[in-house]
Structure 1
Amino acid sequence: MGDVGNIVLRDRRQLSQDGILIVVLTISKETGQVVAGPDMVSRGFVYVREAEELMEEAKGKVKQALEKTGEGKATEWAAIKTNVRDVLSKFLYEKTRRRPMILPIIMEV
């Protein structure tokens, strides 16, 4: 029972050092187009009100990543999430020298 795996420990260490950035997107089931978002929630990474410019740039990067992935392919959620995570990770490291855990959440409507 109290055995915590290496992956869990690694994730907790990353969260404590670099925080988390949650990206929420709402995508139309029929068209694959973004209906709302991207909205971003940051915990332990940057204070959003002090880093509004960074967050706006990050939202732009997410939109570019969605265009690149092809918004019309509404069924390839794993590819979209991976692309968003990769693009944001690279961008945020270049800007802040930190690697927050990035959690993309996609909702279908």
Structure 2
Amino acid sequence: APEDDDGNAASGPRQEQRRDEPMRREEPRRPAALVAAEAAIIMLDSVEACDKWQADNKSMLDGIDDDTVYNCIVKAWKARRAALAPAKVENRATSDFRADELEGAL
């Protein structure tokens, strides 16, 4: 079988796209509400801003009747909020850590 440019067997004659024919989208369009919400969420710069955005957009979120869109928006919001939250670091002063217990182990 003849090969394509990448060395794989050709799947058949190529159909040339006409110049006056618009490009076809292979993937479905994403819902406008999801695109707009994700764009707004990525611009949030603090945990407080995330919480304010959620409160300000409660009616919009409650009005979404597509579970997939709603879950994607909530997931994006939670991820952004988590990324902006300070890291949780264990405070050694309040733990039961004792340096003398490690002397023999090291």
Q: What is the TM-score normalised by the length of structure 2?
A: 0.26
More contact order relative to length (CA 8 Å, sep ≥ 6)? 1
Larger Rg: 2
Q: What is the TM-score normalised by the length of structure 1?
A: 0.26
- Identify the structure with the greater strand proportion: 1
